[in-house]
Amino acid sequence: MPEIMSPLADPAFCPLGVDGVLVRFARALTAEANASASGFCAQIKAAALPGVTELASSLTSVRVGFDPAVTDRQRITAQLRDLLTGLQSADTSPRRLWRIPVAFGPSHAPQLHEAAQLAGLTAEQAVAEITTTMLRVLAIGFAPGQPYLGLMPLHWDIPRQSDLTPHVPRGALVTAVRQLIIFAADTPTGWRQIGQSAFSVWQPDSDTPFLLDAGDGLQFVAVSDDTLRDLQANPDSNGGARCEVLR
Amino acid sequence: MPVLTLHSAGPGVTVQDLGRPGWTAQGLSRGGAADRLAVLEAAALLHQDSGFAVLEMIGFGGVFSSDQPTRFVLTGAGMQASIDGAAVPPYTTQLLPAGAQLTIGGARHGVFGYLAFAGGILTEPVMDSRATHLTAGLGRALAAGDTLPLGDDPRPDMPPQRLNPPDRCNGGMVRMMTGPQTDLFDEQTLADFLATSFRRSPRGNRQGVRLDHDGASFAAKGGLSVTSDLIVPGDVQLTGDGVPYVLLTECQTIGGYPRIGTVIPADLPRVAQAAPGTALQFTLLDLAAADATAEPDMAVLRRLQQARQPLIRDLHDIADLLGYQLISGVTAGDDLEQD
C-alpha cells in the first residue's frame, strides 16, 4: 500500500561548517518533515550538482557538503532552492521490513518502569506499544549504522535525562522524544534503556557493514531473557533479526 | 618492505591518515588525525601525498625501531625524542638507521604528536583509509610488541628538510561560525560565551574535548528536547548541564545536545593541541569571513611544500646564487682594531 506524502515547502537554510549547507524542514520531528528530508536528499543526489561532495539526511534535515574549490555557498544554495520548487510527492512506504527480537526483563531494561511512567503507562503497556508500533528508520547516525526509529505515539515525548548513564551496552534499546535507538556500541547516553537486543547494526568486517537504511520499516518482537542469551551466544544469528523485502 | 616494531607505546598510539570522508549518511564520522595539519606537514616534509598514514601519539610516544633505514619526521605536539640517546628535533626529517631505537617521551607542549615515515605506514586499508576509528571499532590502539609494515623510503640519502610550524599548542583565540542551532541560545548567552575565558579540561579524547570555566553554565532554550541533527567536527556542543565540548575528528554524526556554533577547520588543531589547563576563547566570524578560511587539503599541502626548506642549504639549490652579496663583507681584516 503506497503512502503518498506531500513535502513541506519552506525549509530553513543554515550553514553547517565552511563546506556545508543544512536544509532543515522543521525544528520538531514529524513524519512529514522526515519524509521531506529523505525525499529531498534523494532528489539532490539524482541532480548530481557540481561540487557536491557528500549528502546526509537526518530526522528533519539534509546536509549538503560541497568543495569550496569547485563551488560556493551562494551557488549551492541557489541550486538547492531551484530543486525545492520541483520537490515531488513520493511513495514513502518502506522498501524493507525488519523484525528484531528484544528482551524486556528487568536485567535488560533497567529504566523501562521509569520511561513507562513518564509516558503514563505501565511497563506491560509500554512493551505492548513498542512491539505493536510499525516503526521506521528515520535516520542513521550518531554511531555507524545506528538507527533513529519512530515515531512512537505522542505520549512517548519524554525528554532525555540531564545526567548521562555512563555505560549502556551495544544492542541496547533506548528511548527519548518519541524515538527508539538500537545502540551500535557501548556508550554513555542521556537516553533511557528499556530493552536489549543481540542485533549488530554495524559489521565492519562484512561486505555490507551497514545493515539498516533510512526509510526501512522495523518491528520489535518481545523475547524472554533466555532466548536473548541464546541469540547473544550465537553471533551468526545477528540477534535473530529477519529482513523482508517489500518493494 | 621495512617493518616497524613498537617496543613500548603510550596509551593513545594509533595509525591515522586524513580519515574516511563520505560516510556521514551511514553514521560513520570522517575520523583520521585529530590535528590534520600535522599530517599534511609530515607529507610535505617527506615528499609524500596527502593520503599517507602516520602514527598519532596522544600525550606520550613510545620506543620504535625499523629493520631497514628510513627517514622519518615528528610533527604536531612537541615531544622529547632521541635516537640511541641523541636528541632529535621536531619538524626536521631524520634518518632512523636499521635497528636503532627511536624513543619518544611525553608531550612538553600540545597533545597530539605525529611520527611519520618516508614510505608511509602500509597497513591494509578499510573502506579506503588506514585511519583507526576507536569509537567505531575500526582498528585499535597499538601496544608493545606490535609491528607495522612501512613503505620503502624512496630517497634515504636525501638531506634533512625542515618546516616552521605555526604555533598551535598554546591555546588562545579560536574562530568559530554560527550553525543551525546558534539561535537556540539567546543573545546574552552567546555574548557571555564569547566573553568567557575557557580552560581545556583534562577530559578529552579523539571524539572531543571538554572546556571548563568559572561562572554560570550556558543553557539553550528547550535544551533536553532539541531534535537530534547532523554534526560536523568543530561543533561546540553544550551538554545537559550546559558544559561546552568541542567535537573533534571521531565525533558522533548526529546528536541531540544543542550546538552554539562551529570552530572553523583552520583553528581546530589549536583546540585539539591545547593541553589540559590551557586557556581558550572564542571569537565569532561572520559567514563570509568564515567561508573565506576554507582551504582544501591539497592547497594546504602545496603551501607547505613551498615553505619546506633544506636544513642546510646546498649551494646547488640556491637558484639566485649570483644575486647574493657574497663578498661585500670582505675587509682588510683589521676592523676590530680601528676606532
Taking an 8 Å cut-off on Cβ atoms, the answer to whether A162 and B177 are in contact is no
Q: For residue A188, what pLDDT is reported?
A: 86
Of the candidates B27, B239, B293, the beta carbon closest to that of A18 is on B293
- How far apart (Å, rounded) are the C-alpha atoms in residues B76 and B79? 9
Taking an 8 Å cut-off on Cβ atoms, the answer to whether B265 and A204 are in contact is no
Average pLDDT over residues B268-290: 98
Q: Which amino acid would we find at residue B35?
A: D
The answer to whether residues A168 and A189 touch, using CB atoms and an 8 Å cutoff, is yes
What pLDDT digit, counting tens, does each position of A171-186 carry?
999 999 999 999 998 8
pLDDT class for B322, splitting at 50, 70, 90? low
Average pLDDT over residues B12-19: 98
Q: Hey, where are the domains in chain A?
A: 12-87, 96-245
Residue of B208, B308, B207 lying closest to B250 (CA atoms): B207
Q: For residue B336, what pLDDT is reported?
A: 44
Q: Is the peptide bond before A87 cis (omega within 30 degrees of 0)?
A: no
Per CB distance under 8 Å, which residues of B are interface residues toward A?
A: 21-28, 126-127, 135-138, 177-180, 224-225, 227-230, 232, 234, 239-241, 252-256, 262, 264-265, 287, 290-291, 293-294, 296, 299
Average pLDDT over residues A116-143: 96
Average pLDDT over residues A34-49: 93
Taking an 8 Å cut-off on Cβ atoms, the answer to whether B138 and A184 are in contact is no
How far is Cα of residue A124 from the mean position of the Cα atoms in its chain?
24
Angstroms from B32 CA to nearest CA on chain A? 15
Chain A nearest-CA residue for B20: A54
Dihedral Cα A26, A29, A35, A38, nearest 10 deg:
80
Tell whether the model's pLDDT for residue A18 goes beyond 90: yes
Chain B nearest-CA residue for A14: B180
Residue of A110, A103, A108 lying closest to A130 (CA atoms): A103
Tell whether the model's pLDDT for residue B264 goes beyond 70: yes
Q: Hey, where are the domains in chain B?
A: 3-163, 172-292
- How far apart (Å, rounded) are the C-alpha atoms in residues B110 and B275? 5
ipTM (interface predicted TM)? 0.89
Q: Which amino acid would we find at residue A133?
A: T
What pLDDT digit, counting tens, does each position of B94-107 carry?
999 999 999 999 99
Residue A162 forms contact with B (CB below 8 Å): yes
Taking an 8 Å cut-off on Cβ atoms, the answer to whether A141 and B256 are in contact is no
Element spanning B194, H or E: helix B187-195
Q: For residue A210, what pLDDT is reported?
A: 94
Q: What's the pTM value of the predicted model, to 2 decimals?
A: 0.89
The answer to whether residues B228 and A58 touch, using CB atoms and an 8 Å cutoff, is yes
Helix and strand counts by DSSP (H, E) for chain A: 5, 16
The answer to whether residues B92 and B41 touch, using CB atoms and an 8 Å cutoff, is no
A residues 63-122 closer than 8 Å to B (CB): 63, 65, 67-69, 72-73
- How far apart (Å, rounded) are the C-alpha atoms in residues B315 and A100? 72
- Please compute, for residue A122, the number of CA atoms within 13 A of its CA located in the half-sphere on the CB side: 3
Q: For residue B313, what pLDDT is reported?
A: 56
Q: Domain B172-292: what homologous superfamily?
A: Cyclophilin-like (2.40.100.10)
- The CATH number corresponding to A96-245 among 3.30.1330.40, 2.40.100.10, 3.40.50.300, 1.10.10.60 equals 2.40.100.10
The answer to whether residues A56 and A148 touch, using CB atoms and an 8 Å cutoff, is no
User: Cell numbers at residue B9, please?
Assistant: 607505546
Radius of gyration in angstroms for the set of CA atoms belonging to chain B, rounded to a whole number: 23
Which residues, 6+ apart, have CB-to-CB distance to B288 below 8 Å? Answer: none
- CATH architecture assigned to A12-87: 2-Layer Sandwich (3.30)
Which residues, 6+ apart, have CB-to-CB distance to A8 below 8 Å? Answer: A25, A26, A32, A33, A36
| Residue A182, beta-bridge partner list | A173
- How far apart (Å, rounded) are the C-alpha atoms in residues A140 and A178? 16
Chain B nearest-CA residue for A184: B136
The count of CB pairs under 8 A between chains A and B is 155
Element spanning A31, H or E: helix A31-47
DSSP structure string for B263-293: E-GGGHHHHHTPPTT-EEEEEEPPHHHHHTT
The answer to whether residues B219 and B248 touch, using CB atoms and an 8 Å cutoff, is no
- How far apart (Å, rounded) are the C-alpha atoms in residues B156 and B277? 40
CA angle, residues A27, A33, A37, in degrees to nearest 5: 105
Maximum separation of any 2 CA atoms in chain A, in Å: 58
CA angle, residues B248, B250, B256, in degrees to nearest 5: 80
pLDDT class for B7, splitting at 50, 70, 90? very high
Q: For residue B72, what pLDDT is reported?
A: 98
What pLDDT digit, counting tens, does each position of B200-242 carry?
999 999 999 999 999 889 988 776 678 899 999 999 999 878 8
Tell whether the model's pLDDT for residue B319 goes beyond 70: no
